[in-house]
């Protein structure tokens, strides 16, 4: 006689394949494994399999079962198992749930009880949400993320000497990411421990397994998205998430360097030289000009002095390389009295001894000062939490908002600091 729980899970998976082929294709990659309830109270994943508590699945409706299947598959497809880095595990796990659940709700899936949802986090990545989670949060993820160590200081997978740990079961089965030496196909039947107690908790992934599985899941993500788009069944929120995940992700320092370098005016000219010069040949000559960059600091108190100093040190290192003359502003609701300050490419960028700030935030004073003085910089970089009053009209020059936190900007290029 077939297992009714297995039938329920397979029915939920089949409905996902038919109605939501993107999620269904991802869920198919996770074999179903009945877990020991001593460690798995709801559902769990180690980026290889879908583990479930029989009692928990039995209490869910078919629609809620679809939700928990898709939830675990998205953790894997978004490579949450490989993206934690230095972050505290519990806060990271909560941030990952907050990132996934709005996508599933927007796609029309019915959540089980206890799902973490906050409207303000909609459209944000786990990295953007993480700094918004309180260090002592009482929030708990819906499921268990057993692909990672339980420590509090960054990704696991290494022993005390820094060597990669290889779990015993992987050494016995060949060390492949799925423990079998081949790509797992989740069309297999649910695995159940013969003793009746359910599968034991799997060991966390090693660093090598994380890297291999991250590549594998990115390929699966791209393939599932292509199938869903061909069927015309990939929603807007999911499509944006896929596009973000498949684009190369660069840290803010690299993005800022790229923008400043692109703004530089170094180029070769083939302009005909003066007739008084000897020779008829026209050879290329390097023509360069100093660029004008404005940098504004939000001093309303939302950004720490340490973060401001780190930002200025990065800009100081860049301005010499691109030969940028820099105008520095400090502003909360008004410009600081003696601002702005100007620095030539060869001068060290430094703040005055005292920077006054606090209270609210208005961005207009910086733009108003530039307009009054007839200045159109080649680039304006504004370092802020983006929680304030923006100018109504976008200026003609390019603006980069280097944002700490989750706030959006009405125009310009937004680069996430976190």
- The domain limits of the chain are 4-246, 252-256+288-416
Q: Mean pLDDT over all residues of the chain?
A: 77
Residue 40: helix, strand or coil by DSSP? coil
Average pLDDT in the 351-376 region?
84
Tell me the C-alpha to C-alpha distance, in Å, between residue 291 and each of 152, 287, 296, 371.
45, 13, 16, 18
358, 300 Cβ separation under 8 angstroms: yes
Least confident stretch, 29-38, 88-97, 161-170, 350-359: 161-170
Q: Is the pLDDT of residue 197 over 90?
A: no
Rounded to whole angstroms, the Cα distance separating 294 from 329 reads 8
pLDDT confidence bin for 128, thresholds 50/70/90: confident
Rounded to whole angstroms, the Cα distance separating 34 from 43 reads 9
Average pLDDT in the 45-69 region?
93
At a CB cut-off of 8 Å and minimum separation 6, what does 175 contact? 166
Predicted confidence (pLDDT) per residue in 207-266, tens digit: 888 888 888 888 888 888 877 777 776 666 676 666 666 555 556 667 677 776 766 654
Handedness of CA 181, 53, 225, 79 (dihedral sign): negative
173, 228 Cβ separation under 8 angstroms: no
Per cent of the chain over pLDDT 70 is 72
C-alpha 128: how far from chain center: 6
Choose the CATH number for 252-256+288-416 among 3.40.390, 3.40.50, 3.30.450, 1.10.10: 3.40.50
Maximum mean pLDDT: which of 4-18, 292-306, 354-368: 4-18
At a CB cut-off of 8 Å and minimum separation 6, what does 179 contact? 48, 169, 170, 173
Helix axes 62-77, 4-19, angle to 10 degrees: 70
End-to-end C-alpha distance for the chain, whole angstroms: 53
Rounded to whole angstroms, the Cα distance separating 86 from 352 reads 33
Confidence (pLDDT) at 101: 92
Maximum mean pLDDT: which of 38-52, 108-122, 314-328: 38-52
pLDDT confidence bin for 338, thresholds 50/70/90: confident
At a CB cut-off of 8 Å and minimum separation 6, what does 85 contact? 154, 155
Confidence (pLDDT) at 151: 53
Write the DSSP assignment of 154-170 as a string of letters. Answer: S---B-TTSPBP--HHH
Confidence (pLDDT) at 378: 87
Least confident stretch, 169-178, 350-359, 367-376: 169-178
Confidence (pLDDT) at 2: 58
Rounded to whole angstroms, the Cα distance separating 89 from 106 reads 27
Confidence (pLDDT) at 272: 52
Per cent of the chain over pLDDT 90 is 23
Average pLDDT in the 292-314 region?
80
Confidence (pLDDT) at 391: 92
pTM value is: 0.57
Residue 34: helix, strand or coil by DSSP? strand
Q: Is the pLDDT of residue 339 over 90?
A: no
340 cis-preceded (ω within 30 degrees of 0): yes
Handedness of CA 81, 85, 90, 93 (dihedral sign): negative
Tokens of 330: 């400090």
Predicted confidence (pLDDT) per residue in 72-121, tens digit: 999 998 888 888 888 889 999 999 999 999 888 988 889 998 888 888 88
Confidence (pLDDT) at 168: 39
pLDDT confidence bin for 350, thresholds 50/70/90: confident
Confidence (pLDDT) at 243: 66
pLDDT confidence bin for 403, thresholds 50/70/90: confident
CA contacts within 13 A on the Cβ side of 154: 4
Between residues 299 and 178, the one the model is more confident about:
299
Confidence (pLDDT) at 173: 39
124, 99 Cβ separation under 8 angstroms: yes
348, 309 Cβ separation under 8 angstroms: no
109, 10 Cβ separation under 8 angstroms: no
Q: Helix, strand, coil proportions of the chain in percent (round to 5)?
A: 35, 15, 50
Q: Is the pLDDT of residue 406 over 80?
A: no
Handedness of CA 17, 21, 27, 31 (dihedral sign): positive
Q: Is the pLDDT of residue 65 over 60?
A: yes
Q: Is the pLDDT of residue 56 over 90?
A: yes
């Amino acid at each position: 006689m077939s297992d009714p729980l297995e039938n329920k899970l397979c029915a939920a998976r089949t409905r996902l394949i038919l109605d939501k082929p993107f999620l269904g294709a991802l869920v198919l990659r996770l074999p179903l494994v009945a877990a020991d309830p001593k460690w798995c109270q709801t559902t769990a994943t180690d980026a290889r399999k879908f583990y479930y508590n029989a009692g928990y699945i039995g209490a869910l409706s078919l629609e809620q079962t679809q939700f928990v299947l898709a939830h675990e598959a998205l953790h894997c497809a978004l490579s949450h198992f490989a993206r934690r880095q230095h972050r505290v595990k519990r806060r990271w796990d909560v941030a990952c749930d907050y990132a996934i659940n709005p996508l599933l709700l927007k796609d029309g899936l019915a959540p089980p009880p206890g799902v973490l949802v906050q409207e303000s986090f909609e459209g944000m990545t786990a990295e953007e949400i993480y700094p918004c989670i309180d260090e002592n949060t009482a929030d708990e993820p819906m499921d268990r993320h057993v692909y990672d160590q339980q420590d509090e200081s960054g990704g696991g997978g290494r022993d005390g000497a820094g060597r990669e740990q290889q779990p015993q079961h992987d050494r016995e089965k060949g060390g492949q990411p799925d423990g079998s030496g081949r790509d797992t196909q989740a069309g297999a039947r649910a695995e159940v421990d013969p003793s009746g107690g359910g599968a034991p908790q799997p060991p966390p992934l090693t660093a090598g397994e994380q890297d291999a599985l991250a590549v594998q899941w990115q390929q699966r993500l791209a393939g599932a998205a292509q199938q869903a788009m061909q069927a015309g069944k990939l929603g807007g929120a999911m499509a944006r998430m896929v596009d973000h995940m498949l684009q190369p992700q660069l840290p803010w320092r690299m993005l800022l360097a790229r923008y400043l370098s692109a703004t530089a005016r170094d180029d070769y000219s083939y302009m005909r030289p003066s007739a008084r010069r000897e020779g008829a040949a026209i050879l290329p000559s390097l023509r360069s000009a100093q660029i004008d960059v404005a940098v504004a600091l939000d001093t309303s108190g939302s950004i720490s002095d340490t973060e401001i100093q780190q930002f200025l040190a990065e800009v100081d290192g860049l301005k010499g390389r691109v030969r940028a003359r820099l105008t520095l502003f400090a502003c909360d609701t008004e410009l600081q009295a003696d601002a702005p300050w100007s620095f030539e490419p060869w001068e060290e960028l430094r703040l005055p001894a005292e920077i006054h700030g606090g209270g609210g935030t208005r961005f207009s004073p910086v733009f108003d000062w530039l307009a009054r003085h007839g200045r159109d910089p080649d680039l304006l970089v504004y370092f802020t939490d983006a929680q304030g009053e923006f100018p109504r009209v976008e200026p003609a020059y390019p603006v980069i908002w280097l944002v700490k936190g989750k706030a959006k900007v009405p125009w310009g290029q937004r680069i996430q600091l976190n």
